[in-house]
Structure 1
Amino acid sequence: MSSRRSAAEWARSQVHAVCDDPAVRLELIARTYHGPIGNAPRHLPFRRAALSFMRWPIGRGVLAPLGAMPPGSPWWRAVNERLMRDGCEAVARSG
């Protein structure tokens, strides 16, 4: 295997690094809307919508770690992780 990781592998590693910290999940999703060079003003309305939506499950506690009391929701965590992976992979592919 090549020493270079694929965009999908990089995306998985980014999401795995934040999987048990809802606040850092929010930071990661925000970064994906800044684009590969950190400046994507046309994405601003989408970033606002994504962050607004992300605050809802964080506020409900459904993105909390599975070992927390109360635990997060496996379903919500999986859906959120897929959205984050897609965003990270898109940034990796475009950069």
Structure 2
Amino acid sequence: MSRLPFLACVLLLSVGGGEAHGQPPPAAESAAAARARCAQLVEYWDRYNASRGEGGGSMDMPRKSAISDCAAGRTEAGIRTMEDLLRRNGYAVPPP
């Protein structure tokens, strides 16, 4: 009787990304970090741009687009949009 199937199962379980040990896989951690970064940038924009007053409606479209991208799982696009928006308006992009 061959031990190959048993060893293959043990190998697959040992490289399963930590799921068997109750830890989230690295992809889930990076996705959560990207969503948190999106939220951080939008909150930063909202906090500092709110003091600009009326007439800033054109700046709201990139923000809405970034929120939509982040909510749909396109976090890289949302982060890039928010960072560009901040830079174009003279704000320093906060560190992650």
TM tier, smaller: 0.3 to 0.5
User: Counting helix residues as a fraction of each chain, which structure ranks higher?
Assistant: 2
Q: Which has the higher contact order (CA 8 A, sep 6+)?
A: 1
TM-score (norm 2): 0.38
TM-score (norm 1): 0.38
Question: Looking at CA atoms only, which structure, 1 or 2, has the larger radius of gyration?
Answer: 2
